[in-house]
Amino acid sequence: MSKITDEIKKRRTFAIISHPDAGKTTLTEKFLLYGGAINQAGSVKGKATAKHAVSDWMEIEKERGISVTSSVLQFNYGRYCINILDTPGHQDFSEDTYRTLMAADSAVMVIDASKGVEAQTRKLFKVCVMRHIPIFTFINKMDREAMDTFELLDDIEKELGIATCPVNWPIGSGKAFRGVYDRNEEEIELFFDTKKGTTTGEVKKIRVDHPDVDQYLDPEQKDQLLGEIELLDGASATFDQEMVDRGELSPVFFGSALTNFGVETFLQHFLKMTTSPLPRHSDKGDIDPMTEKDFSAFVFKIQANMNKAHRDRIAFMRICSGEFDAGMDAFHIQGGKKVRLSQPQQMMASERKMIEKAYGGDIIGIFDPGIFSIGDTITTSQERYAYEGIPTFAPEHFARVRQVDTMKRKQFIKGINQIAQEGAIQIFQEFNTGMEEIIVGVVGVLQFDVLKYRLKNEYGVEIILETLPYEYIRWIENEEIDMDRLTGTSDMKKIKDLKGRPLLLFVHEWSIRMTLERNEGLRLSEFGRS
Ligand code: G4P
C-alpha cells in the first residue's frame, strides 16, 4: 500500500453536533486531552461573558493564546489522525454550520441527558441524514438528574427517526450515578466523581456477576440494572455496522464529559466504528481516495480575513483524495484555470501553522485572491471532474435591506455580495423587479447584526433592515414552470436568487402544502444548489 493511502486510512474526520450547553466544548476538550494535544485540564472559561459571534473554538484558542478563527482541530490518538470540525452551535448558528457537515465523514451528537433531543440538534441532524453519514450519540451529564434511559432513546428514535443501539447502559443518574454497564464485555465501568482534571484517569471495571458489585450498587439498583439488561437484549436493535455506516443506526454511549467519565471509552469505540475518508460523488462518478492517486478537494467555507486592511480571504477545503504539497499547482474546475495553492494553513490543536503536507480527509485553509466559491473543486487530475455542489440551506428569517445613503450603492453591492459569497447570508430579489430591492435571508438571526456591522465597518455602508414575516423558503425544482400562472396562498411571496432562479416564501407551513395541491406537477425543495 502506498504511503498516501496509509495516511488517508488513519484519518477520522468528524463534526460534533449539539444544542448549546449540551457539552460539546467540554467533550471536545476531553478528546484533545486524551490525544495529548493539550495538557491542561479544566473547563474552558469565559463562555458566559463571551459576546455572540464568538464561537467556543475561539474561546479555546484565546485561552491558549492562539489565533482566532479556525475550522478544524487536528490531533493524533493512538494510530489515528483525528480532524474535528467546528460547528458553532451557539447564537452564531448559521449556514456555515450546516456546510461544515458536508466536509465531515461522520457526526457525534451530544445530548444533555436531562433534556433529550433539542431544537438545534434536530436541525443539524437533518443534514446528517441527508448525507447518510454515520451518527454516534453521546448522552452527557449523567452526573446530573437524567430522563429515564428508555425515554431518552425513544425520544431520539421518534424525534430523529433513527434506530438506536446502546453500547453501554447507565446505572442511575445524578447523585445515584454509579457508572455504565458495557453490554459487550458484560462489565461495569464504575463512576467516581474525582476525575475532573485527569487525562488518563484509571478506569475501574468490574464484571456484573462479581460479588464485589454489591459494594458499589444498592440492591435495588442492581436489580433494576439486571432487569433492564434483560429487557434491552430482547427489545433493542442489535449492533449492525452496515446500518451504522449508512446512518440508519446510531450507537449510543452514556457518560459525563465534565467529570471525565465514559469519554475515553466512547472515543475508543467511536474510532473503531466510524469510517476513514470515503468515496465522494462527482460528475464523473464516485472518486475513491483508496484508488484515486491525484489530489482533489472541494471548498466548503470561505472566510474573509479579520484584518480590515487586507481584504483577503481564506478558502477552507476538504481534501478528498491524494496528497497536498504546499505551493503546488492544481486545476480550479469552476474557474477553468490552473491555480497555485499558496499559504496553506491548518489548525493544529495547539497552533495555527503553515503546513507542508496534508492528505485525503484533512481540511486546509488556502489563501483566496477572490477566485473561489463555495462548492468549487480543485484537482491535479487530468480527468477534470467536479464534486457534487453543496446545498444551499433554507434560511428561516428574512428582511428587506434599505441603504441609508443611496450614494454608496457600489460599495453596498460589493459588500453584500462578498458577505453572501462567504455564505453568512443569502440574497434575493423581488421576482418581478430589478436589483433595487434586496431581500436577505439568514439561518440564524444573529447574522442580521453581523451583516449590519460588517457593511458599516468594512464597506462604510449603513443599512436599515425591515424584518419580513416569512419563515419558510422553497426552491422550485422544475424551473420551467410558468411563474405567472403559479397560484399560491395569500401569505406567499415570489422571489428569485441572484442567478434568476425562482423561489417561494411562506409565512405558514401549511401554505406550502396548499400551494403544492393547487399547482399540479410543482416540485419544491428545502435545499437549493450553489
Ligand atoms: P456546549 O459547548 O455544548 O455549549 O456546552 P459546554 O461544553 O460549554 O457545556 C455547557 C455547560 O455544561 C458548562 O457549564 C459545562 O461545564 C457543563 N457540562 C458539560 N458537561 C457536563 C457534564 O457531564 N456534567 C455536568 N454536570 N455539567 C457538564 P457552565 O456552568 O455553563 O460553564 P462553565 O463555567 O463550567 O464553563
- Check which CATH number belongs to the domain holding 517 and give it: 3.30.70.3280
pLDDT mean over 96-116: 90
In the reported structure, the alpha carbon of residue 73 is separated from the centroid of ligand 1 by a whole-number distance in angstroms of: 20
Quickly state the pLDDT bin for 435 (edges 50, 70, 90).
low
In the reported structure, the alpha carbon of residue 21 is separated from the centroid of ligand 1 by a whole-number distance in angstroms of: 6
498-523 core/surface letters (b: 16 or more CB in 10 A; e: else)? eeeebbbbbbeeebbebbeeebeebe
Is residue 384 in a domain?
no
Q: What is the DSSP string of 368-394?
A: ESS---TT-EEE--TT---BPPPEEPP
Task: Find the CATH number of the domain harbouring 327.
Answer: 2.40.30.10
Note whether 262 and 296 are same-domain residues: no
CA atoms of 479 and 99, how far apart (whole Å): 24
- The rounded Cα 154 to chain-centroid distance in angstroms is 24
Task: Find the CATH number of the domain harbouring 211.
Answer: 3.40.50.300
Note whether 96 and 152 are same-domain residues: yes
Residue 108 C-alpha cell reads as 457525534
Residue 467 C-alpha cell reads as 424584518
Quickly state the pLDDT bin for 355 (edges 50, 70, 90).
confident
Note whether 507 and 478 are same-domain residues: yes
The residue with greater pLDDT, 32 or 137, is 137
Note whether 269 and 300 are same-domain residues: no
Answer whether 264 contacts ligand 1 (Cβ < 6 A).
no
Given 348, 379, 410, the domain boundary residue is 379
Kindly report the CA angle at 260 between 258 and 262, in degrees rounded to 5? 120
Note whether 127 and 216 are same-domain residues: yes
Is residue 392 in a domain?
no
Is residue 153 in a domain?
yes
**Exposed/middle/buried for 347, CB within 10 Å: 0-12, 13-18, 19+?**
buried
Note whether 309 and 239 are same-domain residues: no
DSSP code, position 163: E
Q: Tell me the pLDDT of the chain averaged across its residues.
A: 84
Answer whether 111 contacts ligand 1 (Cβ < 6 A).
no
Is residue 238 in a domain?
yes
Is residue 3 in a domain?
no
The residue with greater pLDDT, 508 or 479, is 508
In the reported structure, the alpha carbon of residue 90 is separated from the centroid of ligand 1 by a whole-number distance in angstroms of: 13
What share of the chain has pLDDT > 70, as a percent? 85
- Is residue 89 marked as binding? yes
pLDDT (tens digit, 9 = 90+) per residue, 24-53? 888 988 888 887 766 544 333 333 333 322
Answer whether 297 contacts ligand 1 (Cβ < 6 A).
no
E strand or H helix at 529 = strand 528-529
Pairing of strands 391-392, 528-529: antiparallel
Atom of ligand 1 nearest to the CA of 28: 7
Helix axes 149-160, 119-131, angle to 10 degrees: 60
- Is residue 88 marked as binding? yes
Any idea which residue has 451529564 for its cell? 141
Cβ–Cβ under 8 Å, residues 185 and 247: no
In the reported structure, the alpha carbon of residue 79 is separated from the centroid of ligand 1 by a whole-number distance in angstroms of: 29
Note whether 157 and 301 are same-domain residues: no
Note whether 244 and 115 are same-domain residues: yes
In the reported structure, the alpha carbon of residue 20 is separated from the centroid of ligand 1 by a whole-number distance in angstroms of: 9
Given 245, 273, 301, the domain boundary residue is 273
Read off the amino acid at residue 506: F
User: Taking the C-alpha atoms of 244, 250, 255 and 260 in order, what is their torsion angle to the nearest 10 degrees?
Assistant: 40
pLDDT score at 238: 84
Q: Any residues with CB less than 8 A from the CB of 195 and at least 6 apart, and which?
A: 201, 259, 260, 261
Note whether 181 and 208 are same-domain residues: yes
Three-class secondary structure assignment of 297-359: EEEEEEEECCCCCCCCEEEEEEEEECEEECCCEEEECCCCEEEECCCCEEEECCCEEECCEEE
Note whether 312 and 232 are same-domain residues: no
* CA neighbor of 327 nearest in space, from 348, 344, 352, 347: 344
CA atoms of 374 and 376, how far apart (whole Å): 6
* The pLDDT of residue 66 is above 50: no
Given 273, 305, 322, the domain boundary residue is 273
Answer whether 528 contacts ligand 1 (Cβ < 6 A).
no
CA atoms of 374 and 272, how far apart (whole Å): 32
Helix axes 446-459, 409-421, angle to 10 degrees: 130
The residue with greater pLDDT, 296 or 53, is 296
Note whether 117 and 168 are same-domain residues: yes
Per the structure, the complete domain to which residue 370 belongs is given by 280-379
DSSP code, position 255: -
Atom of ligand 1 nearest to the CA of 27: 7
Number of structural domains, the chain? 3
* CA neighbor of 426 nearest in space, from 437, 440, 444, 443: 440
Comparing 26-35, 94-103, 424-433, which segment has the lowest mean pLDDT?
Answer: 94-103
- Is residue 197 marked as binding? no
CA atoms of 201 and 34, how far apart (whole Å): 10
Is residue 391 in a domain?
no
pLDDT (tens digit, 9 = 90+) per residue, 141-154? 999 999 999 999 99
Is residue 388 in a domain?
no
- Is residue 309 marked as binding? no
Beta bridge partners of 502: 496
Is residue 126 in a domain?
yes
pLDDT score at 498: 80
* The pLDDT of residue 308 is above 70: no
Going from the C-alpha of 253 to that of each of 96, 321, 381, the distances in angstroms are 28, 32, 42
Note whether 415 and 363 are same-domain residues: no
Mutate to test the pocket of ligand 1, among 28, 91, 258 (most ligand atoms within 8 A of CB): 258
In the reported structure, the alpha carbon of residue 145 is separated from the centroid of ligand 1 by a whole-number distance in angstroms of: 14
**Can you give the C-alpha Rg of the chain in angstroms?**
25
